Amino acid sequence: MIAIVHHPAYVAPAPARSTYRWNKNGLIRDLLIAEGARVAWHTPEPMPRAWLEAVHDPDYVAEVLEARVPAMKTRRIGFPVTPAVAARAAVVPGGTWLAAHLALRHGFAANTAGGSHHALADTGAGYCVFNDLALAAVRLVEEGTVDRLAVVDCDVHQGDGTAALLAGRPGIATYSIHADKNFPARKARSTLDVGLADGLGDEAYLATLEDTLAPFLAEYRPQLILYQAGVDPFAGDRLGRLSLTLDGLVRRERLVARLARGVPLASTVGGGYGDDALEIARRHVTAILTLGEAMIPAR
């Protein structure tokens, strides 16, 4: 069985004037429900305010939780933070933290949201409000669950917020492989950044991933991997600049699972953009099921 983390608040109603498509998480949930007994469901709690403030500026945490984010930050995020969006923002990092604990127990677990890797200390950005990856990473080390963990980010956009928030944190290493010319224009510095040329296809992408992620993991020897499994490197993605096929994405997840070499891995959804929300959700669910098959030994 694949441990899946989901909360009803993930499926927030779309705020007015939103360019972000909001039905993705509900469709991911529905596609996973259709998998029946293959999936075991877990419900997270909202992340406590003190944990949020361990990574984000307390003033920004208050702005979000009280749904009074200033206009400039709202523009950077890309949608208004309504009370429903605020509730979602607090529960998604709780979901990534829970998925990490489930991964330590079962080898793999997936949060059906998260991967909000652009959020910074004092503002959200790029459709991200709170940085669930950084929040979970810091909490897991601070509470003594693990001494060393790695955030591995395969979204087509650089994990700039994660890199900035986790820089210098003991026991935490960050890896990002992304289209170099894509958003964000100004990159942060991860422990290891792999910037790719536009239009890269399956073979070159997978070879570069293996050549860079294998030594990264060998050097940092994490006890846990938090994975940003964005499917926006897909050729048809509205915001991607790479040319992976669906088969390439499946092979990517198998490769990440193989390179993890038995280290528990918790995945988050990350980016995936296009007009057909069901197709996007299918890509995310394919990634989750592929990881689950590859990481959890058959019995």
Among 44, 233, 271, 292, binds Zn ion (CB under 5 A): 271
Give 32 or 154: the residue with its C-beta nearer to Zn ion: 154
Between 208 and 223, CB nearer to Zn ion: 208
Binding region for Zn ion (CB under 5 A) out of 10-18, 94-102, 164-172, 232-240: 232-240
Q: Is 160 in the site for Zn ion (CB under 5 A)?
A: no
d(CA 249, CA 106): 23
Q: Which stretch binds Zn ion (CB under 5 A): 45-53, 197-205, 249-257, 267-275?
A: 267-275
Q: At its nearest, how many Å lie between Zn ion and the CB of residue 231? A: 9
Total interface residues for Zn ion by CB under 5 A: 5
**Quick check: 230 binds Zn ion (CB under 5 A)?**
yes
Say whether residue 193 binds Zn ion (CB under 5 A): no
Q: How far is the CB of 230 from Zn ion (least distance, A)?
A: 5
Choice from 157, 241, 251, 284 touching Zn ion (CB under 5 A): 157
Closer by beta carbon to Zn ion, 35 or else 279: 279
Cα(106)–Cα(65) distance, rounded to whole angstroms?
A: 33
132 binds Zn ion, rule: CB under 5 A: no
Of the pair 63, 237, the CB lying nearest Zn ion is at: 237
Tell me the closest approach of the beta carbon of residue 218 to Zn ion, in angstroms: 27
Shortest distance (Å) from residue 124 CB to Zn ion: 14
Residue 161 as a binder of Zn ion (CB under 5 A): the answer is no
- Does position 155 bind Zn ion by CB under 5 A? yes
Q: Which residue number places its CB atom closest to Zn ion?
A: 271
CB-wise, 93 or 240, nearer to Zn ion? 240
Closest of 195, 199, 200, 191 to residue 178, by C-alpha: 195
Exposed e or buried b for every residue in 76-90, given b needs 16+ CB within 10 A? bbbbebbebbbbbbb
Which among 27-35, 56-64, 195-203, 222-230 is the span making contact with Zn ion, rule CB under 5 A?
Answer: 222-230
Q: Which is nearer to Zn ion, 157 or 252 (CB)?
A: 157
Q: Which is nearer to Zn ion, 232 or 253 (CB)?
A: 232
The CB-of-186 to Zn ion minimum distance in angstroms stands at 16
DSSP secondary structure, the chain, as one string: -EEEE--GGGSPPPPTT--S---HHHHHHHHHHTTGGGEEEE-PPPPPHHHHHTTS-HHHHHHHHTT---HHHHHHHTS---HHHHHHHHHHHHHHHHHHHHHHHHSEEEESS---TT--SS--BTTBSS-HHHHHHHHHHHTTS-S-EEEEE-SSS--HHHHHHHTT-TTEEEEEEEETTSSPSS----SEEEEE-TT--HHHHHHHHHHHHHHHHHHH--SEEEEE---TTBTT-SS----B-HHHHHHHHHHHHHHHTT--EEEE------S-HHHHHHHHHHHHHHHHHHHSPP-
| Candidate residues 232, 243, 269, 295; the one interacting with Zn ion per rule CB under 5 A | 232
The residues binding Zn ion (CB under 5 A) are 155, 157, 230, 232, 271
